[in-house]
Amino acid sequence: MSPSVCLQEMIRVIRGARTQGEERGVIQRECAAIRAQFRQADNGGRSHNLAKLLYVHMLGYPAHFGQMECVRLIASSKYSEKRIGYLGAMMLLDEKQDASLLITNSIKNDLSHSSQHVQSLALCTLACMGSAEMCRDLAPEIERLLKASNSYIKKKAALCAVHIVRKIPELGEMFTPSAHSLLSEKNHGVLHGAVILITELCERNPDNLKQFRKSVPELVQIMKNLVTSGYSPEHNVAGISDPFLQVRILRLLRILGRNNDAASDAMNDLLAQVATNTDSSKTAGSAVLYETVLTIMDIRSESGLRVLAVNILGRFLLNNDRNIRYISMTSLQKIVQTDHTAVQRHRGTIVDCLKDQDASVKRYAPSQRWHIDTILHVLVTAGGDVRDETVPNLIQLITAASELHCYTVHKLYRALISDIVQQSLVQVACWCIGEYGDLLLKGECEEITPMQVTEDDVLDALETVLQSHMSTPTSRGFALTAIMKLSTRITNNVDRIRSVVSIYGSCIDVELQQRAVEYNALFKKYDHMRAAVLERMPVIDRNSSGQTNGDPSVEPMKEFNQPKPVQGVLIQEPANQVCDLLDLLGDSNPPLLVTNDHTSTAPNSTNSTSSNVQDNLLDLLGGLEPTPAPSVTVFEKGGLSLKLQCDQQTETSTTVTFTASNSTQSDITGFNLQAAVPKSVQLQMKAPSGDLIPAQGCGTVTQTVLLSYTNKANLKMRVRLSYSSQGTACQDMVQIDSFPSPAWS
């Protein structure tokens, strides 16, 4: 006589409903039936009806008419009805409903019921939805139950007390003595409840802290027992005995030990023991270790312990489980922000971890701002130890976070004026100031306290970097370029910039001299181009393994990722300009000639290095020949040769012409081309001019193919030729990976 048959039947019917409308119909019918049955007085099926109603309620339909029924069921004497009644009360009632007042009396009676199960029901419901008045009425009862002999009841009473304390903090004093005594219980459930109660009391009222600090030795003892006890089948979870209780106690110890030396001293041994003995191969162990680390960092622990904690976090970072890596990264972030000194000492460890896990940090970074902040912080503390790629990585990240430009440049400027020892930080700061100097000078930025920065200040800072003996040549290069970029972004001190630039034109360092001379020329001969050349850089795409972006990186931009990033800056801007010109004028040839000559007379033919610059420039422009695109022989066998020629090329499509010629003595008949391309490319083959290729090169067969694609890098083609030559049928396949055309776009 399972009591839920009707409920199951209803559930089956609801599940069988195929549309939302049908389901609504079924439920409305059921609700009407239930309502009718509620109105009838005494009825054996009341509990089933309420159960059905609760199910309906869970699905989201209104069920308020069941509230009175809950009250009635709670008052009944049958346990099954009481159970459903209380469950209904917890789900349907809350303190705002009037009906909740009506159950106060029932709860009171049930709290003194002989059966512990009934008592527990009442406790549970009270803890769940007890209003302030109900709590005030029933608090003495709860207190009495806390001292009861039944551990089943005690644990529930403890948590009910937590609810009461939350609702009415003044009543906390009533529970303090009992909470204290509960700590000597053996039952883990009761211990758990007691720890939670004490935690709640301490959080609400700091006076309680003093009182409960006396129990620190007791708590330490309990933890020791948990950690060192052997296998206990009752509480064992993956080899750790009662990790839930351990975590709870650690959290309480954290609250008690905060800002208090005596308590912290008492805990030191224990924390060390837990940290070293806990097995972290399963999540349960890691959970305990995580809590331990948080506790160590929060209390006044000794430095050896802190080293241990940071080491644990470092280990977590290398863990395979992504949950654990996430945890360690969020805690490292908290530690770095609050406890700078401890982190300083162990920055080697942290930077090591960060070095390896850069991709994960990127993936899990809660926001770009957090990501930038974290890397900035690493640079400030340990800039000398980071990898070289960090600088371009960070720069790329900053350009991508366009809404944070203002914030970033302010932060970097401040870091720069305080200290210029860390070279990677200096490089990033100079680059940003050069790029976003106008945002810096505007002065307002909502995210940090405003600081009035004048153009002179900025130039002073950059010049300090230039002149300081601590700066490496690379950093000096960054600074000089930044000063140059500022010439278009500021209005008043352009002359100062010109003088700085011309001074460095005779610098001993060849790199700086070259740059200075180039910039000088930009001022003199090419002043009209200066604004265009020095404008903001677009967002840089990156093709490294950590990224999954499929967009093609424009070829000139790839230059940026090489170890000497800044050298590419000047090269790219003129190239961009030239490219723009080309695009404007389509593919016609004469302008190509003109611009080629123009760039070949670009500044500085004095240095040998400058001709390298030029070569690079020309290489970038690729095979920009003033003649039509050449044809390339892609296949040659037994006299049959197939040539390929690219006629028109735009960003997304190419027209390719195949020309087949025959140098044998006899004609080739039945010539047929089939082509296959990767999925990202679309192919359209036009009709061939014929299928007979005359002998000895007297004629050719041509076929045009239109290719359209989104990603030029993926462009590949496989061609199958089938033909009959000298009586034999042949089939050949050739793969074409590169197409003879300008390498960029």
Applying CB under 8 A, which residues contact other proteins?
1-4, 7-8, 11, 15, 51, 54-55, 58-60, 79-80, 83-84, 87, 94-95, 117, 120, 124, 127-129, 152, 155-156, 159-160, 162-163, 188-189, 192-193, 196, 234-235, 237, 242-244, 247-248, 251, 283-284, 286-287, 290-291, 294, 322-327, 363-364, 366
Query: 237 or 507: whose CB is closer to other proteins?
Result: 237
* Alpha-carbon gap, residue 541 to 490, rounded angstroms: 28
Query: 247 or 701: whose CB is closer to other proteins?
Result: 247
* DSSP symbols for 493-512: -HHHHHHHHHHGGG-SSHHH
Query: 141 or 242: whose CB is closer to other proteins?
Result: 242
Query: 3 or 384: whose CB is closer to other proteins?
Result: 3
Q: What dihedral do alpha carbons 288, 292, 295, 299 form, nearest 10°? A: 160
- Rounded least distance, CB 269 to other proteins, Å: 22
Give the full edge-to-edge strand order of the sheet including 640-649. Answer: 631-637, 640-649, 653-662, 700-709, 681-685
* Alpha-carbon gap, residue 598 to 614, rounded angstroms: 11
Pairing outcome for strands 668-676 and 717-725: antiparallel
Amino acid at 638: G
* Alpha-carbon gap, residue 316 to 333, rounded angstroms: 14
Query: 370 or 523: whose CB is closer to other proteins?
Result: 370
Return the axis-axis angle of helices 390-400 and 368-382, rounded to nearest 10°. Answer: 150
- Rounded least distance, CB 296 to other proteins, Å: 14
User: In sequence order, what are the beta bridge partners of 722?
Assistant: 672, 731
- Rounded least distance, CB 543 to other proteins, Å: 20
Query: 2 or 77: whose CB is closer to other proteins?
Result: 2
Query: 153 or 397: whose CB is closer to other proteins?
Result: 153
- Rounded least distance, CB 278 to other proteins, Å: 12
- Rounded least distance, CB 235 to other proteins, Å: 6
Query: 63 or 497: whose CB is closer to other proteins?
Result: 63
Cα 167 to chain centroid distance, Å, stands at 38
- Rounded least distance, CB 35 to other proteins, Å: 18
Query: 353 or 394: whose CB is closer to other proteins?
Result: 353
Amino acid at 412: L
- Rounded least distance, CB 221 to other proteins, Å: 21
* Alpha-carbon gap, residue 630 to 348, rounded angstroms: 56
- Rounded least distance, CB 19 to other proteins, Å: 14
- HSE-CB at 18 with a 13 A cutoff on CA atoms is 0
Query: 37 or 653: whose CB is closer to other proteins?
Result: 37
Burial 259-288 (b: 16+ CB within 10 A, else e): ebeebbebbbebbbbbbeebebeebbbbbb
* Alpha-carbon gap, residue 707 to 657, rounded angstroms: 11
- Rounded least distance, CB 103 to other proteins, Å: 16
**Secondary structure string (H, E, C) spanning 584-599:** HCCCCCHHHHHHHHHH
* Alpha-carbon gap, residue 424 to 71, rounded angstroms: 70
Give the SS3 label for residue 674. strand
* Alpha-carbon gap, residue 198 to 311, rounded angstroms: 31
- Rounded least distance, CB 193 to other proteins, Å: 6
Query: 85 or 565: whose CB is closer to other proteins?
Result: 85
* Alpha-carbon gap, residue 466 to 475, rounded angstroms: 8
- Rounded least distance, CB 189 to other proteins, Å: 5
* Alpha-carbon gap, residue 265 to 511, rounded angstroms: 58
DSSP H/E element including 157: helix 151-167
| Contact (Cβ atoms closer than 8 angstroms) between residue 487 and residue 496 | no
